[in-house]
Amino acid sequence: MSEIGSQSATWHAPAPDGGAPQPPAEPWDLVTVPVRQGLEAVDILRRGSTPAVGPVVHDGACDTLGFLVPPGTAAAWDMPGSACTRTSGRGLRLPELPELPEPTGDTPRPAGWLLPPGDTDPVTDPAVLREALGEAARLIEAADGCH
């Protein structure tokens, strides 16, 4: 698994007074997919009549994207080509990431937010994500078949 899976999965929101970050109300699970399919799914989710995408992270090599989904999603997740990591408060944390410097030379890029918390819904609905990932896979298959 990529760096995303080794990160932790409890995001700390900034305090209302701008002080120290506060822990979220509950943990979440993380669905990871290949970056191409994930980017297509993000576009699909954001183009919908009601955009419905939560925070999304990328691994350092930009090989995978991770969608934050409600806790318990991993128990029933069975979408081929993806994985869902159960966190259930086990200390997997994704801290709010600062601005990331561009890598120099062969330096690998650190994991970071594609869509940071606070700019999105708290999590992505797993049923909506499943549909978007399926549509993304069909679009990619059609595009690749046109060559």
Neighbours of 49 (CB within 10 A): 5
The two structure tokens encoding residue 67: 């969608």
CA distance 44 to 23: 30
Q: What is the pLDDT of residue 102?
A: 55
147 residues of the chain, pLDDT tens digit each? 334 443 333 344 444 444 433 334 457 899 999 999 999 999 999 998 777 899 999 887 889 999 999 999 999 999 999 999 987 555 455 544 444 445 556 666 678 889 888 877 789 999 999 999 999 999 999 988 876
pLDDT given for residue 97 in this prediction:
47
pLDDT for res 40: 97
Q: What is the 8-class DSSP label of residue 98? A: -
Tell me how far the alpha carbon of residue 11 is from its chain's centroid. Answer: 12
What's the pLDDT at 21?
A: 36
DSSP structural state of residue 8: B
Q: What is the pLDDT of residue 80?
A: 92
The three-state secondary structure class of 22 is strand
Contact 26, 122 (CB under 8 A): no
112: left (phi over 0), alpha (psi -120 to 50) or beta: beta
In degrees and rounded to multiples of 5, residue 131 shows phi and psi of -65, -45
81: left (phi over 0), alpha (psi -120 to 50) or beta: left
Task: Provide the token pair at 126.
Answer: 């797993």
